[in-house]
Amino acid sequence: MRGLTGQSLSGRSSLVLMSAGTVVLVGTVLFAAGCSSGGTGLKDEGPAHTDSVSRTGSPPAPEPHASSGQSARAATPSGRPATKVDAIALLKADPKVSADIKRELKPCTGKEYPVDVSYGKVTGSEAVDIVVNVLSCADALGRGSYVYRSEGGRYENVFSDEQPPVYAEIDRGDLVLTKPVYAKTDAVAYPSGEDVITYRWSGERFTEQDRVYTEYSNVDGGGQPAPAVTLKN
């Protein structure tokens, strides 16, 4: 998972439709070739205390225009808004984003910011929601995760977690946070364990639905999962 071990995961899918030609008895052959369409447009590409996570709305930030400095995949009706959102401008204008995150929000190389953006339905709104993960340039660990809900042409921060390392994703309509747990001697690639927390939109805010902690063994440098302990609300 990107933002947790420094490895990048991206998914692309394609659909190709081909139509065969028809043969006329007089010997004339006509060929009709179909079109191909692009991918889905969706990117569902230490210890922390979840009681400090913000789950309520904040003063809405203006919906920014697209930025040429941030990469994006082709828009599709299934998951992307009609206009690409400038996540950098959105974060900088958000009063709920900490000063530390804003200060470190700089390009790693060229114009590439350490930011992952996902689009999907996670708050029950007809409009597409936006999940933004801010990573560190050094090790690509998640520094902060945010969910923005479209309200009357403006985006409102309805969830934020700035307890690193953290990474948020949309999974079948739920918000899922992954938090690696590190001991003092753990390498970045080999955490001692991992918390996976599932949140669900209740109409006004996100509430925790499920929590799974997996403790990894020390075999071959770690990373081998031991039996998980699941706590449900």
- Tell me which amino acid residue 126 is: E
- Tell me the sheet residues that pair with 210: 198, 232
pTM for the whole thing? 0.64
∠ CA 158-164-165, rounded to 5°: 110
Contact 91, 146 (CB under 8 A): yes
Q: Which two tokens stand for residue 65?
A: 């225009």
User: Which pLDDT does position 153 carry in this prediction?
Assistant: 83
Q: What are phi and psi of 124, to 5 degrees?
A: 80, 5
- pLDDT tens column, 168-209: 999 999 999 999 999 999 998 899 999 999 999 999 999 999
Distances (CA, A) of 167 to 17, 107, 170: 36, 19, 11
- pLDDT tens column, 89-130: 999 999 999 999 999 899 999 999 999 999 999 999 989 999
Q: Which two tokens stand for residue 144?
A: 């902060």
The residues, any chain, with a CB within 8 Å of residue 212's CB and separated by 6 or more, are: 195, 196, 197, 228, 229, 230, 231
